[in-house]
Amino acid sequence: MIIPDFLGHTIAVHDGRKHVPVFITEAMVGHKLGEFAQTRTFRGHEKDDRKGRRR
């Protein structure tokens, strides 16, 4: 749980693979640290090849 004493600090939060630096702001007080470490990476959507095959 993030408490007001953490404001302005940067804390390393583990996301399952590595530690991610998270800068604590006032809006984060009361939340848990893990909410701010993304665990999944978005690689984009698959390209749809069917659009080029129209006749």
Q: Does domain 4-36 have CATH number 3.30.860.10?
A: yes
**19 vs 42, more confident:** 19
pLDDT tens figures, 37-53: 999 988 898 887 776 66
CA distances from 53 to 23, 48, 49, 50 (A): 48, 10, 7, 5
What token pair was written down for 47? 């390209």
Cut 0.85: pTM above it: no
Distance CA 2, CA 31 (A): 6
pLDDT tens figures, 31-41: 999 999 999 98
Longest dimension (CA), the chain: 65
